[in-house]
Chains A and B, each alone.
Chain A
Amino acid sequence: MAEEIKKPKRPVDPNSAKYKLGQIAAGAYADAAEAKARGEMVGWCSSNFPVEIPETLGLYVVYPENQAAGIAARGYGQEMCETAESDGYSNDICAYARISLAYAKVKKCEGQDMPQPDFLLCCNNICNCMIKWYENLSRELNIPLIMIDIPFNPDYEVSDAETLYVKEQFFDAIKQLEKITGKKWSENRFRQVMEYSGRTSRAWLKAAGCAHYSPSPFNGFDLLNHMAVMVTARGKKEAAEAMELLCKEYEENHEKGESTFRGEEKYRIMFEGIACWPWLRVTSTGLKSRGINMVTTIYADAFGFIYDDFDGMCRAYASVPNAINLEKARDKRVALAKEIGVDGLLVHTNRSCKLWSGFMYEMSRQIGEACDIPVVSFDGDQADPRNFSEAQYDTRVQGLTEIMESRKAAR
Chain B
Amino acid sequence: MNKKELFEKFHEIATHPETLMKRYIDEGKPVVLVAPVYTPEEIIHSMGCVPMGAWGADIQLNEAKRYFPAFICSIVQSILELGMKGVYKGASALVVPSLCDSLKCLGENWKYGVKDIPFIPMTYPQNRKPGYGHAFTKAGYERLISDLEKAAGKTFDDGALGESIRVYNDHNQAMRDFATIASKHPEVSASERSDVFKSATFMEKSEHTKLVRELIAYITEEEPAKSGTRILISGILADSPALNDIIDELGFTIAADDVAAQSRQYTVDAPDKAGNESNLDALVNKFCNMDNCSVLYDPDKKRVNMITNKAAFAEAQGVVVILTKFCDPEEFDYPLIKKACDERGLPCVLIEVDRQMENMEQARTMLQALKEMI
Contact = CB atoms under 8 A, between A and B. Distances in A.
A complexed with B: yes
Nearest to A120: B299
A92 B328 contact: yes
Interface in A123-160: 124, 127-129, 131-133, 135-136, 138-139, 145, 147-149, 151-155, 159
Interface string B60-94: 00000011110110000000000000000000000
A351 B71 contact: yes
B297 A92 contact: no
Interface residues of B, number: 54
Contacts of A393: none
B128 to A, nearest CB: 9
A165 B299 contact: no
Contacts of A90: 323, 328, 331, 334
B4 to A, nearest CB: 41
Interface string A354-381: 1101111111000000000000000000
Contacts of B338: 88
B111, B132, B329, B339 — which one has the most chain A CB atoms within 10 A of its CB? B132
B125 A149 contact: yes
Contact of A147 (B68, B107, B297): B297
A89 B104 contact: no
B124 interface: yes
Interface stretch (B35-43, B95-103, B261-269): B95-103
Given A92-B326, A151-B125, A326 B111 contact: yes
Contacts of A97: 332
Interface residues of A, number: 49
B59 interface: no
- Looking at B104, B124, B135, B326, the one whose CB has the most chain A CB atoms below 10 A away is B104
B102 A354 contact: yes
B67 A359 contact: yes
Contact of A88 (B105, B107, B294, B334): B334
A97 B336 CA distance: 15
Contact of A138 (B126, B139, B299): B299
Given A139-B336, A149-B126, A149-B127, A159 B102 contact: no
A92 B334 CA distance: 13
A358 B104 contact: yes
Interface in A149-184: 149, 151-155, 159, 161-162, 164-165, 168-169, 172
A362 B112 contact: yes
B121 interface: yes
B259 interface: no
Contacts of A94: 328
Given A168-B132, A354-B328, 11 more contacts: A87-B335, A90-B323, A90-B334, A92-B328, A135-B298, A136-B332, A147-B297, A355-B104, A358-B68, A361-B68, A363-B108
Interface of B: 66-69, 71-72, 98-102, 104-105, 107-109, 111-113, 121, 123-127, 130-133, 135-136, 139-140, 294-295, 297-301, 323, 325-326, 328-329, 331-336, 338-339, 350
Give 4 closest A-B pairs by Cβ, nearest first. A358-B105, A88-B335, A161-B139, A154-B121
14 contacts: A90-B334, A94-B328, A97-B332, A128-B101, A129-B101, A132-B294, A132-B333, A138-B299, A139-B301, A154-B123, A169-B127, A355-B104, A357-B69, A358-B102
Interface of A: 87-90, 92-94, 97, 124, 127-129, 131-133, 135-136, 138-139, 145, 147-149, 151-155, 159, 161-162, 164-165, 168-169, 172, 325-326, 349, 351, 354-355, 357-363
